Amino acid sequence: MKVFKFGGASVKDAPAVKNVATIVQQHPGPLLIVVSAMGKTTNALEEVFQHAENRQDYEPALQQVENYHYQLTAQLFSDSQHPVFARLQSQFTAIREYLQNLPPNRSDEHYDQIVSQGEFLSSLILYYYLVQSGFSAEWLDCRDCICTDCSWREARVDWLTTEKNIQNKLAPLLEQQIVITQGFLGGTTENRTTTLGREGSDFSGAIFAYCLGAESLTIWKDVAGFLNADPKFFLNPHKYDEISYQETVEMAYYGASVIHPKTIKPLANRHIPLYVKSFLQPQEPGTVIKDSKHEKLVPAFIRKANQCLLSFGVRDFTFVSERNLSVIFHALAELRFKINLMQNSAISFSVCTDYDADRLQLLQEQLQEQFIFHYNAGLLLYTIKNYTEDSINHLTNGKEILLEQRTRSTFQLVCREK
């Protein structure tokens, strides 16, 4: 039994969906397909939701999402009476009804109900297309399997219930046919939809693979495999052929965008290999991530944009004490700031985190009485994992560096975005 996860780029238009069918054709045997929203649909739905929440006209943005899905679908199904069209229509009707009756309280719960729709649309279209292409296939509502708590936008999985559901409801289906389901989503015991965090479909693939005891998980991407640098920002990246779970977890933690950081742990716990492969060159081996012992790897360059550097100083010429730090950490945790890098000196404490204007405002309000608080936004955080002196020189050349840190294996710097 294998699990394939197809990301947004792999289903972004009609030819891409056809290509997915070709890949599936080449892999006979029990298969679960976990699919993300098509192209940039999740961003588009976030925008729709934001308009609705701000009581602005969301209809033009929603119309775009709708047109995109209809046009794509019309290129896949020549019969305009095909049931897929009615399914799409009922999804969009449900979205509109929800938005028209959006409760006045701002809540991430409503975000999840709307933004999750991208995966329902993509999985329905892919399912009907595979059936039309002659596959024996079934569509599964992942909320019947993946059980989570109510931490909206970043729901936590109830592993025991989820594993039981998957064993009882999904495993028997997979004996008969291919099953297509949604990434990124879960459901609560009160039948509300949750999302697992942006880019969370990889994690969904891992949850299913873990609970099924799958032979492998394959993530199909628009790059050749796990690269040592993002080709959008670095020339001639190197592809790793094989890499350990441990190295991968660390790189994902530092922000390597190729894999969602939560993906690895469930796979490693059951020794399930993860393949990262290109949907453009499906015959190529890509990268395998598994229990492996390898020599030191080629340095990996990881770039995280939209960073800010917060610094906290004490007001009374004393030092930043452990007690001060605990106040700062508490406030950061409460506001769900993730610390990407930190540094302590006698009179100040600095933290690099993702920039978020609203939450920064709240942080400032909470801490300004006790601390002198500054921040710089518009920054980049670079990490080199397994650095060499050459790689550091290459990276730092010409940059205005605000903070720099190194351990035995990792070099990090914060600099201005140019």
Q: Which residues bind ligand ASP (CB under 6 A)?
A: 7-8, 36-37, 42, 118, 183-184, 198-201
Would strands 300-314 and 371-385 be described as parallel, antiparallel, or unpaired? antiparallel
Closest distance to Mg ion from the beta carbon of 5 (Å): 9
Residue number with CB closer to ligand ASP (183 or 225): 183
Q: Work out what residue 42 binds among Mg ion, ligand ASP, none; the CB cut-off runs from 5 to 8 Å by kind.
A: ligand ASP
- Using CB under 5 A, which of the segments 2-10, 46-54, 177-185, 250-258 binds Mg ion? 2-10
Please report which helix (H) or strand (E) contains residue 383, including its range: strand 371-385
Closest distance to ligand ASP from the beta carbon of 198 (Å): 4
Q: Reduce the DSSP state of residue 87 to 3 states and report it.
A: helix
Closest distance to ligand ASP from the beta carbon of 152 (Å): 14
Q: Is 21 exposed, middle or buried (0-12, 13-18, 19+ CB in 10 A)?
A: middle
Q: Does 118 bind Mg ion (CB under 5 A)?
A: no
Closest distance to ligand ASP from the beta carbon of 148 (Å): 15
Q: Work out what residue 273 binds among ligand ASP, Mg ion, none; the CB cut-off runs from 5 to 8 Å by kind.
A: none
**What is d(CA 394, CA 70) in angstroms, rounded to the nearest whole number?**
47
Q: Is 55 exposed, middle or buried (0-12, 13-18, 19+ CB in 10 A)?
A: exposed
**What is d(CA 169, CA 22) in angstroms, rounded to the nearest whole number?**
27
Total of chain residues touching Mg ion, rule CB under 5 A: 2
Residue number with CB closer to ligand ASP (187 or 200): 200
Q: Do the beta carbons of residue 245 and residue 261 sit within 8 Å?
A: no
Closest distance to ligand ASP from the beta carbon of 276 (Å): 14
CB-nearest residue to ligand ASP: 201
Q: Is 164 exposed, middle or buried (0-12, 13-18, 19+ CB in 10 A)?
A: middle
Closest distance to ligand ASP from the beta carbon of 253 (Å): 17
Q: Do the beta carbons of residue 404 and residue 299 sit within 8 Å?
A: no
**What is d(CA 367, CA 370) in angstroms, rounded to the nearest whole number?**
6
Closest distance to ligand ASP from the beta carbon of 116 (Å): 9
Residue number with CB closer to Mg ion (7 or 205): 7
Which residues 333-362 are close enough to bind Mg ion by CB under 5 A? Answer: none
Would strands 137-139 and 274-278 be described as parallel, antiparallel, or unpaired? unpaired
Residue with tokens 């009756």: 101
Please report which helix (H) or strand (E) contains residue 372, including its range: strand 371-385
Residue number with CB closer to ligand ASP (163 or 199): 199
Residue number with CB closer to ligand ASP (37 or 217): 37
Residue number with CB closer to Mg ion (184 or 371): 184
Q: Beta-strand (E) ranges in 150-254?
A: 178-182, 185-187, 193-195, 216-221, 242-244
- The one-letter amino acid at 163: E
Residue of 32, 28, 410, 48 lying closest to 250 (CA atoms): 410
Residue number with CB closer to Mg ion (7 or 187): 7
Which residues 298-327 are close enough to bind Mg ion by CB under 5 A? Answer: none
Q: Cα Rg for the chain, rounded, in angstroms? A: 23
Site string for Mg ion, 174-203 (x = CB under 5 A): -------------------------x----
Closest distance to ligand ASP from the beta carbon of 296 (Å): 31
Q: Do the beta carbons of residue 28 and residue 61 sit within 8 Å?
A: no
Residue number with CB closer to Mg ion (66 or 119): 119
290 phi and psi, to 5 degrees?
-160, -175
Q: Does 205 bind Mg ion (CB under 5 A)?
A: no
Q: Which of 2, 3, 4, 7 binds Mg ion (CB under 5 A)?
A: 7
Closest distance to Mg ion from the beta carbon of 333 (Å): 27
384 phi and psi, to 5 degrees?
-115, 115
Q: Work out what residue 366 binds among ligand ASP, Mg ion, none; the CB cut-off runs from 5 to 8 Å by kind.
A: none
Residue number with CB closer to Mg ion (5 or 385): 5
Q: Which residues bind Mg ion (CB under 5 A)?
A: 7, 199
